[in-house]
Amino acid sequence: MPSVTTILSVIAKPTLINWAANMSADYFKSQIEPGKSYDEIQLNTIWKDAKSAHYKKKVETGDIGSFVHQWVEDYIKGKKPAPPVNDQLRESTEQFMEWQKKHKVKFLASEQVVYSKEYNYCGTLDFICTIGGRLVLGDLKTSSGIYNEYWLQTAAYRQARSEEFVEEKYVGQAIIRIGRDGSFEFVESDDYDTHISGFLAALKLHGVLDTLKNNAINS
């Protein structure tokens, strides 16, 4: 069965395309000096490195994001991870802990696998918590911003979770964003109907594309 993230991959992400193009352009600009001549090998090397500049940047920032994500995940699970030594990482984790204390957040579950029997998809939600006594389901992100597909993702998790645990009455979905630059952001939404309709539209499109792919293979 398809996962929530696989289903949402049908949504175009123009921001990422622009970011990758900018990474390549910036690298090329940094390597070319006005008035300087370059031979074929030098130009070819610059060209190759420019093509992979976005990937190298993604790996670099991805390492930071992965560490922060794992640290917060361990903290939510009660493992009491040691404070990071790196200044950037420590700043991110400290902001997270300050937010939890200020808003009296109580985490109830982490990394929970969900399955929707009604729509036949699966996924893994990041956390379930109460904020001021209100039950909220959410996801932890280490991106540079909060994007619309995040709300479709959490709505899908909420749908599946609610099917299995009907007694859980969620009042909203939440995104915790811990930026790779040390920034911290928490956003909550209660517009579940809009978000789940968007996810189901993506699910339908995913199914159509999958059918077309299988028909092409079998023809």
- Who's near 202: CB < 8 A, 6+ residues apart? 7, 8, 10, 11, 152
Length of the chain measured in residues: 219
Distance, CA of 5 to CA of 7 (rounded, Å): 5
The pTM of this model reads: 0.77
User: Picking from 98-102, 122-126, 212-216, which range would have the lowest pLDDT averaged per residue?
Assistant: 212-216
Q: Which domains does the chain have, with CATH numbers?
A: 4-218 (3.40.1350.10)
Distance, CA of 197 to CA of 134 (rounded, Å): 23
DSSP string computed for 164-196: H-TT----EEEEEEE-TTS-EEEEEE--HHHHH
Q: What pLDDT is stored for residue 59 in this prediction?
A: 45
Q: Quickly state the pLDDT bin for 29 (edges 50, 70, 90).
A: confident
